[in-house]
Copies of this chain bind each other. A is one copy, B any other.
Amino acid sequence: MPHDTAIARLRNLLGDRLSTSDAIRDHHGQNESYYPVTLPDAVAFPASTEEVSAVMTICHEEGCPVVAWGTGTSLEGHALAFRGGITLDLSRMDKVLQVNDEDLDVVIQPGVTREALNTELRATGLFFPIDPGANASLGGMAATRASGTTAVRYGTMKDNVLALEVVLADGRVIRTGTRARKSSAGYDLTRLMVGSEGTLGIITELTLKLHGQPEAISSAICAFDGIDAAVSAVQMVIQMGIPVARIEFVDAMSIRGFNVHAGTAMPEMPHLFLEFHGSEGAVAEQAERVGEIVAEFGGGDFQWTNKPEERNALWHMRHNAYYAAKALRPGCWVLTTDVCVPISRLAEAVTVTRADIDASALEATILGHVGDGNFHCAILVDPDSPAELAEARELAHRMNARALAMGGTVTGEHGVGLGKMKYMDEEHGAAWAVMAQIKRALDPSNILNPGKMVEVN
């Protein structure tokens, strides 16, 4: 067996929390996208920072790859141990360690999930806003620099992590940042670790900013005749500085998916889904102003509501967009791609992407967190058709190329993983080599999620 010395030493350390069983390896070889199942040699379930450190020390000595695992919801094959070695599953480190309500922060272990955290916080009047839809672990969300529907108002993981504890490749344990809201003391190692996808260190503790639960929340929905009108309305809302909490675009094909998957009967037209947070007065004012903008762009029948059950149904539907897309073609694989462009280019980017899909033989949905200029495309592929997969890749490729040509990025939030490696050179140019220099400095034997993010050889 490859890495058998490392695995034997890890078994000594962890006992039955080191597994080589097929079932467990298989679970950790899966992914939420179309990448082939890829089994690690073993799966470790550490229970503490000390254990993570001990694991890293052993793997460092033995040259054994270590791929962190949160909940496995990332969409570009990030957590697949495609060069073998062990998967380090952090789901047992799932404690909320400290709720500092006076300081609006919380200290947690990396395996705490977004939903578990918000359940824990409910009574405090505070919440953690970042919402990537999936019930991901906070460690994984930090590692992918996740964002989602609320980033337009509350920022991404980059903006909401105050401090981290990280175990480095050689087992050293460091703390980055403090509980102070800001600091100019030294290099921003926190932001260096956020988004590093497990290639620079293992996050073993996070201090996160919290926000007050809004006094009032309302949601709204509105249909448009065309993509251009819907997206142009979004551009105007952002340019006017209206502090919407969510502003989501879903195209007609996505609506068709919702109708099939959730049994709704919405008109199959491009829509905006919105949410407003604030005082009663502020929420009403925001909704009214957005209503005016939407009307200007021909948006029909702008409806807004304060009813929590209607709002929850709306976001539940939105969060299931991926599965709704799948429902359009039972048994299909979904190739999801995620780009982000300057907001002035958004309408063009979405329109051209839609036309490109329509000209292809494939079905796909487009939807996005358009307030940030971020949108996704979910392309439905017959798993048994290499031709379809090839065509889907071509569609995705052109979408990425357009985003770059528009001064944007090949991933607004999903991250690099395996799928976006091929664009790193073009997006970053000479800066990509600088990333590799940093990787080499911090992980000289290249054991942390090797083969991802940078090329070190």
Contacts and interface: CB of A to CB of B under 8 A. Distances in A.
Nearest to A101: B239
Interface in A227-272: 235, 238-241
Contacts of A176: 431
Contacts of A159: 155, 159
Interface stretch (A43-51, A145-153, A297-305): A145-153
A158 B186 CA distance: 13
A146 B184 CA distance: 7
A100 B342 contact: yes
Nearest to A428: B186
A432 to B, nearest CB: 7
Interface in A396-443: 403, 407-416, 420, 423-424, 427-432, 434-435, 437-438, 440-442
A180 B424 contact: no
A217 interface: no
Contacts of A360: none
A187 B438 contact: yes
Contacts of A372: 180-182
Given A191-B191, A442-B437, A180 B408 contact: yes
B413 A184 contact: yes
B211 A241 contact: yes
B196 A192 contact: no
Interface stretch (A57-65, A88-96, A278-286, A306-314): A278-286
A296 interface: no
A168 interface: yes
B191 A342 contact: no
B414 A184 contact: yes
A111 interface: no
A279 B281 CA distance: 11
B212 A174 contact: no
Contact of A185 (B156, B424, B437, B438): B424
B102 A239 contact: yes
A175 B429 contact: yes
A79 interface: no
B435 A186 contact: yes
Interface string A166-191: 00100011111011111111111101
Contacts of A343: 102-104, 181
B168 A434 contact: yes
A407 B192 contact: no
Contacts of A135: none
Contact of A416 (B184, B238, B431): B184
A367 interface: no
Contacts of A449: none
A212 B185 contact: no
A31 interface: no
A343 B210 CA distance: 13
Contacts of A373: 180-181
A374 interface: yes
Given A285-B281, A434-B174, A104 B441 contact: no
A341 interface: yes
Given A241-B212, A343-B103, A420 B187 contact: no
Contacts of A407: 178-180
Contact of A178 (B158, B178, B374, B408): B408
Contact of A174 (B156, B282, B423, B430): B430
A285 B216 CA distance: 15
Interface in A75-116: 100-105
A164 to B, nearest CB: 10
A194 interface: yes
A144 B186 contact: no
Given A185-B428, A191-B192, 11 more contacts: A147-B182, A175-B428, A178-B427, A180-B342, A182-B409, A183-B340, A183-B412, A186-B427, A186-B435, A187-B195, A279-B285
7 contacts: A145-B183, A180-B372, A182-B409, A185-B423, A187-B192, A191-B191, A192-B438
Q: Which 6 A-B pairs have the closest CB atoms?
A: A191-B191, A212-B241, A183-B409, A441-B441, A102-B344, A174-B431
